[in-house]
Each structure stands twice: as C-alpha cells, then as structure tokens.
Chains A and B, each alone.
Chain A
C-alpha cells in the first residue's frame, strides 16, 4: 500500500514532496496503528490540517470496510458448508507458514544484538505460552529502552551510534 500512497500524493496530486513523504512513512511506523492509515492521516494533516486528517483517514478505511463487510455477510452464510470447511482446513496451515516466514524476516532486521534476542524470546514465551497480555510485553520492551537511556548512558550511546552491536 505504501508505494500506492506515494505515487498518488507525490506524483499524481503533487500534494507533498518526495522528501516529506519519506518523513511521513518513518513517523507512521513509529506511531501505533496500521502504517497505511497513519501515513494517510499524516498526509491529510499536512495538506489541510485537522479536517484533512479526518477525511483522509475515513477515505483510506472505507474501501476495505465495504469489501470486508460484504465478504463477512457472505462468509457467515457459507462458513458451515463442508466445501468451505475443507478449503479453510487447507488455508489455515498456509497462513501459519506465511506468518512464520514474516516473523523470521522481521527478526533479521529488528534483532541487532543479544539483548534484542533475549527480549524477543521472552516475548514469545510470555505471550504464546504464559498467556500474558501483549500490551504488557510492549510496555516492558519500552521500559527496557527507557531504563538503558536513564541508567546506562554509555550503553545507550553505544546503541545510538551503531545500532546496538557489541564492541
């Protein structure tokens, strides 16, 4: 979706420059929520203030909302049919493999040192096997970052200068 947004607002409509749109995508990733929605909200805000932000957000949500609402209505009627059950019994394990591969890909860029590896392993264990709420684990990760910033300034400087690699 990101390349589509870029083409529309930079090349087609010329609402923002290509430098601005890169900043928008970076900011959108560090905000909570879906990146595509955040980017649209940010761009709407840059072009026409609060009103722009609101209409851009509604605009980016509506198409998927209508598509999914239609599918959901249809799916509720057919979900107990034997053919549908058979199809989904095949799709479920494929989704498991898609997500596993996505997890491995993300781990290659997001885990840069031993501390990161430990945090990631702890998070999986806590959420998947000990039923801890994901929210607490996210806050825990943020707390680790805060603690390093305030308590271990040397380590923090090291992380900031080379992304956390030891030495």
Chain B
C-alpha cells in the first residue's frame, strides 16, 4: 500500500508544482509529514544531496524520498508519479497549450500564481532554516527565553557566512556547500 501512497503523493506534487524545484519543497514536506515517511532533518539532507547532484531537484527528491520510505521500488513509483502528470498533460493538450499560453486568461492566471511561487520558495527557506537552526528534538514554541536555549548559534553563523559568500563574493553554490560542511565538522569537534 505504501507504493500506492508514494505514487499518488508524488503525482499530486507533479501536478501542482510550478516554478521549479524550490517551490516544490513545501508540497513534498507536507506529504512526507502527513505520511510520516521521513523526519524534517532527513528531508533537508535530501534537499542538500539533490542540490549537489545533476538532474532536476523534483526527480532527485522523488527518487530519494521514495527510496528512504520504501526501498528501490518506492524510488521508482515516486519518480514515475512526479513525472506522469506533465507527461500526460503534454500528450493530451500539447497542441492547444501552445495557443493557450498566449491567451490573456492564461497570462492573468500566471499573474496570480507567480507571487505564490515566490511565497512558496520563501516558505521552503523558512522550513529549512527552522530545521537547521533549532537543536534536534525541539520545536518552535514557548517563550523567547526558551527560544535562546533551543537555537543552534553555530548554524546561524554558517547561514550568515554562506549568505555573504554567495552574495558578496559570488562563490559557486557547490563550493559554499563544501565550505559549510567543513565548518560543520570543525564546530562539532570543538
């Protein structure tokens, strides 16, 4: 039964994801969370690995989540699930679609959807930051005093270093990931 759930969940993700991999993260997270397939930090690790490997993040995370949840067959059904909606849509409506995308109605729909995609990418950033900044096993609740004790200051330091490296020095994302993994090792040993 888990295969059917994986297939349907990733089909839903494939059908409702616009604007690339990052905007998909909140959708995938919701499915993972409601089915209890992976922990939040495992999912963030998968995003990190998907980021470092070639290929679309959508496919990479589908394969990975499917595999972690239900082995190799899980990986296959999740990957098939995420790819099938657009394949079917293109097979059925491809000819109409080229005409429709220049239609004013289509333009207006995207006028409304485009800012939502921005919001979803910010929501993905919030989710990953929450997972990265909070100490393992804690959740965001309670007083501000409580907040100070559950936040991992080393992670915030790495976050700021990464932002500076990416924006100010335009360092390649892969190199940023390598540097931050070294920092993670050093901080753990200290």
**Chain A contacts to B: CB under 8 angstroms:** 1, 23, 26-27, 29-38, 41-42, 45, 50, 53-54, 57, 61, 63-65, 67-69, 71-73, 75-76, 79, 82-83, 85-103, 106-107, 110-111, 115-117, 119-124, 126-129, 133-135, 137-138, 140-146, 148-149, 156, 159-160, 164
Contact = CB atoms under 8 A, between A and B. Distances in A.
B83 A61 contact: yes
A127 B119 contact: yes
Interface bracket on B: 35 or more
Contacts of A138: 16, 18, 113, 116, 120
Contacts of A83: 185
A91 B176 CA distance: 9
Closest 8 CB pairs between A and B? Answer: A90-B184, A123-B119, A64-B55, A145-B112, A33-B86, A141-B116, A94-B180, A86-B188
Dominant secondary structure of chain B at its interface with chain A = helix
Dominant secondary structure of chain A at its interface with chain B = helix
Contacts of A29: 19
Contacts of A143: 112
B167 interface: yes
B61 to A, nearest CB: 8
Contacts of A67: 53-55
Given A57-B83, A95-B44, A106-B121, A116 B114 contact: yes
Contacts of A144: 111-112
B106 A33 contact: no
Contacts of A164: 111
A132 to B, nearest CB: 9
Contacts of B8: none
A45 B89 contact: no
B67 interface: yes
Interface of B: 12, 14-22, 25-27, 30, 41-42, 44-45, 47-51, 53-60, 63-64, 67-68, 72, 75-76, 79, 82-83, 85-87, 89-91, 94, 97-98, 101, 104-129, 131-133, 152, 154-156, 158-160, 162-163, 166-167, 173, 176-177, 179-185, 187-189
A141 B112 contact: yes
A31 to B, nearest CB: 5
A158 B99 CA distance: 22
Nearest to B12: A135
Contacts of B183: 90
Given A72-B67, A106-B118, A123-B123, 11 more contacts: A32-B17, A42-B94, A69-B72, A92-B41, A95-B128, A96-B133, A97-B163, A123-B119, A137-B116, A156-B108, A159-B107
A86 B124 CA distance: 23
Of the listed residues A67, A96, A128, the one surrounded by the most CB atoms of chain B closer than 10 A to its CB is A96
Nearest to A140: B116
B128 A119 contact: no
Nearest to A46: B94
